[in-house]
Structure 1
Amino acid sequence: MTTLADFGDDEITQLLEAPGAVLKAVIVADGKPRSIGFLKATARAAKVFRAAQEDENDMVRAVALALRDRNPGDPDGEDDEPSGSDDYLWPDSEREATRAVELVAASITLLRGRADDEDVDAYGAWLVRIATQVAEATTTKEGGLFGKRVAVSENEQALIERLATAVSR
């Protein structure tokens, strides 16, 4: 069984940042989210993070609890204060997706070197589950004015697939 105590501070930070990066990438996958969509996505994310705090896998549970303790009320543990840029007004979807995929891949590589296969698989599955469930929280209209509503947009699905690939490497 692997615990967070088996990792250094920078490594723990990396493991804790990956879920938040995934969450942010999914929320902005289709550009700036509408208010209702944002609220639905964050509500679903909160459920996913709360469920992870009771996950049967010790590693997933430890990461989720560390995120909760790191910054209560902020499931991704990130400082959400604007840094003087307009990133929050006009998010760069591709940059956020790339950051999330890179963090997930690096975290999985880190775990593969030191954790049990069960822990690696559970952590990776949890990250993909965050993306999938948050993407499914809102419907997206694709195809313009007469387009249809879909549960997961093409951009969200592409991100989920990229994350799944990063997890399986």
Structure 2
Amino acid sequence: MRKPRCPAFGQGNGLVRARRRGDPQSAPGGEAGGDDAAGARPVGLVAEPAELGAYRALFAQTGAYDAQVFVRTTLGPLLDHDRERGRGGDLAATVAMYLANAQHHARTCSGLHIHANTLYQRFNRADDLLGEGRRNADRALDIQLALRLHGLARRLA
């Protein structure tokens, strides 16, 4: 039987567990992961580590630190720019929206409620900060993953 995906996370016994908000009855049966070290049944949804994909590294002891280093190395100048200018993440949000919209300019403009010229100005500034390689597929994937990790870390902080 396939285990359900985990919407939030904690750690235990090689499985990632989470409690559904507001649902005290969210404990699955014994087939969802067995007993933990204290003998209690696991609470919430359970996901195998392999189901977490690239996010699996976050649950290792050094994973959170490695993720922070990756985000800082990949996005450092972009995040610094947004923080220094107090814009609430204009450039980071623009690049994230662009990548989330499969690099489609019109959908990005629509999603951000900005004019195309504003989008191109932001791209030029992002290129200055991240380098021209931002448009390369491999580099774009690194940037997108770093943006997702950065967003996740902000939500969990």
| TM value normalised by structure 1 | 0.26
TM-score w.r.t. the length of structure 2 is 0.28
Which has more helix, going by share of residues?
1
If asked which structure has higher relative contact order (CA below 8 Å, sep 6+), I would say: 1
Whichever of the two has the greater Rg, that structure is: 2
